Structure 1
């Protein structure tokens, strides 16, 4: 089971959208996947068509993180239910505002093992995607501590490039100071408009900064993605050429994740 955190220290870059795109690719490919929504805003949960039952969410599971605690709150995504798929095709550990008690800068050492303990014993999945809050908080560090890989989401803008540098620096510092070092990291570039001179310049800058850590392909800024998310629908099931192009890119990113885990 590979655990991948999708992270950014700058809001608005489409972090949850990237999580949903990879989840859509996994559903199409038949890769059993669990999405753990650590963001108190719970956008990934909403995008997967899930309304958590009262008290059955990530925040509750992490408050008393016994071994396998997440399994008790996991529910099937609406995406999988609509297609009549078996359990664990694409499940969700729903997010909620209840996890915000860990969305703070200060933390104790024992906080960092909360997600790792809650995931221990959870089985039946090949991939776990953790949607992190856009802050360098105890929640984010808890996700990194449990992960095999961190995908940092960026967009081709000045402020996002700076935020990506902060994220990657924070990951490096985390690796130096904790026993839970993240084995690998990468940068996914989202919301790209190739016709924009500024975007092309920032793409080049990101390439110079992060080299082989830059994930290929980049993700274009297409209206169809907002339409699919608004309908809580997987992009791989959305009609049209733009959706097909975007689906292929997410499939390639998923394949890269799975190949590196093999």
Structure 2
């Protein structure tokens, strides 16, 4: 079972959008997937057409020491499944909904024992899921560290801008420090570049800069800025089922990234370019 944390220490870069794109690709490919929404804003939960309740939310599981596999108790099926297959078929895309119930853990202080909370809640889930996607809060807090502790890889999301490049450097440095200071190691890390305008000179420059900084850790292809994504998300609809050539291009890019993650056990090793 691959457990992938989608992270950024800078908000507004489309972290939840990348989580949704990968979830859509997994559903289209028939990969049994669980999305764990650790962000108290719960954008991924909303985009997947799910609503948290007082009983069905991931904060309820993480608020106390739980039994192995406890996240099953709050996981619900996304309506995306019936939109993909009509009747649901045998495809599986479940969501552990995010909500403000996670906010008490959205803090910088934590105990070493806290790192095992999500690890324990996901124990024994390999029979149910091939992939777990964790949408992290946009800061380095106890929730983010819990996600990293449980993950086989961390995918950092960047935009082609000066501030986002700096935020990506902070994220990758924080992962390195986490590895140094924690008994739990992250298997691998990578960077996916989101919201790219291929014709924008500044964007091309920043993608080249990210290539220079992170080399083979940069995931290909990049994700272009496209209004069709906003329309699909506004409808809580998987991009792989949205009509039109632009949606098809976005879907294909997410499928390439997903297959690279699952096939190699690490992000794709080819360099990205703004024109891909």
The reply on whether 1:94 has 2:97 as its aligned counterpart is yes
TM-score of the pair, normalised by structure 1: 0.98
Match of 1:140 in 2: 144
Instruction: Determine the structure 2 residue equivalent to 1:67.
Output: 68
* Superposition RMSD in Å: 1.2
Aligned equivalents of 1:205 and 1:42: distance in 2?
A: 31
For structure 1, list consecutive stretches of 5 or more residues without a partner in the other structure: none
- Preserved CA contact (<8 Å) 2:30 2:91: no
State the 1:140 CA deviation: 0.2
Quote the Cα distance in structure 2 between the aligned partners of 1:24 and 1:3: 16
- 1:160-200 CA distances to partner (integer Å, 9 max, x unpaired)? 00000000000001001111110100000000001111101
1:118 aligns with 2:103: no
Query: For the structure 1 residues 87 and 45, does the alpha-carbon distance in structure 2 shift closer, same or farther, using more than 3 Å as the test?
Result: farther
After alignment, is 84-93 or 247-256 more displaced?
84-93
Deviation digits for residues 113-169 of structure 1 (CA, Å, limit 9, x no counterpart): 110011112231000000000000000000000000000000000000000000000
Shift of 1:261: 2.7
**Structure 1 residue 84: Cα displacement:** 2.1
- In structure 2, distance between residues paired with 1:252 and 1:230: 24
After superposition, the Cα gap between the structure-2 partners of 1:88 and 1:245, relative to the gap in structure 1 and judged at 3 Å, is closer
For 1:86 and 1:167, the matched residues in 2 are separated by: 39
Which residue of structure 2 lines up, in the alignment, with residue 55 of structure 1?
55
Give 1:181's aligned residue: 185
